[in-house]
């Protein structure tokens, strides 16, 4: 981004992240955005605390906001949101045959319930299961689920998208999440 002034549309969209209804179990912080994907980018990190009943639970992820004033053809818009979320999950979940479809439906359901209008959604779900043997046999089995997704938001209000992603991370991390309950605001965090 050499000699380019940050467009007001991008700055205004980033400011909406301050008003997002983030899940109360998730902390949010600004992180460095990836370079070279779009002329303008920003990113936030989300960390979900572990359940009291399972100290090995919890999860983390990020939401990247990409902006190209020229509109990239694959996006069909000037903005593109990209997320990667990972969480430790119950072993039973990763062995469930429909777990991938369920995780993907969580994404679209949370976005829809938050009235985060979107289209051009794409992504993948990865499940991993680990069992230890020999000298490591005393370790318990573990499982993780990872969601990678991107979509084009309709409009510049990114707050519903960020809130939905935080609730999705909380659900992936084992919390029972209601769309209208258990939410908190980000507060004064510098996002631009």
Calculate helix-pair angle for 99-113, 159-172, nearest 10 degrees. Answer: 150
- pLDDT by 10s per residue, the chain, length 192: 445 799 999 999 999 999 999 999 999 999 999 999 999 999 999 999 988 887 778 899 999 999 999 999 899 999 999 999 999 888 888 888 898 999 999 999 999 999 999 999 999 999 998 887 887 777 777 889 999 999 999 999 999 999 999 999 999 998 887 644 333 333 333 333
The rounded distance, in Å, linking the Cα atoms of 173 and 96 is: 16
Q: Which helix (H) or strand (E) holds 165?
A: helix 159-172
Residue reference for tokens 């209208």: 180
Alpha carbon distance 144, 104 (integer Å): 15
Q: Where are the domains of the chain?
A: 8-174
pLDDT in tens, 109-163: 999 999 999 999 999 999 998 887 887 777 777 889 999 999 999 999 999 999 9
CB 151 within 8 A of CB 75: no
CA angle, 190 as apex, 160 and 107 as ends, to 5°?
Answer: 25
């Amino acid at each position: 981004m050499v000699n380019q002034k940050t467009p007001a549309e991008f700055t205004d969209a980033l400011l909406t992240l301050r008003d997002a209804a983030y899940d109360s179990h998730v902390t949010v912080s600004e992180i460095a955005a990836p370079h070279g994907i779009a002329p303008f980018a920003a990113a936030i990190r989300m960390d979900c605390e572990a359940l009291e009943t399972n100290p090995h639970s919890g999860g983390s992820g990020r939401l990247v906001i990409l902006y190209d004033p020229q509109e990239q053809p694959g996006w069909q818009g000037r903005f593109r949101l990209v997320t990667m979320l990972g969480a430790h999950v119950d072993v039973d979940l990763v062995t469930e045959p429909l777990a991938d479809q369920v995780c993907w439906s969580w994404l679209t359901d949370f976005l829809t319930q938050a009235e985060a209008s979107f289209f051009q959604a794409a992504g993948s779900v990865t499940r991993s299961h680990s069992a230890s043997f020999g000298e490591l046999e005393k370790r318990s089995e573990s499982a993780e689920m990872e969601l990678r997704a991107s979509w084009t938001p309709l409009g510049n209000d990114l707050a519903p998208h960020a809130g939905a992603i935080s609730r999705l991370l909380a659900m992936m991390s084992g919390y029972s999440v209601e769309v209208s309950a258990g939410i908190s605001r980000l507060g004064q965090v510098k996002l631009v």
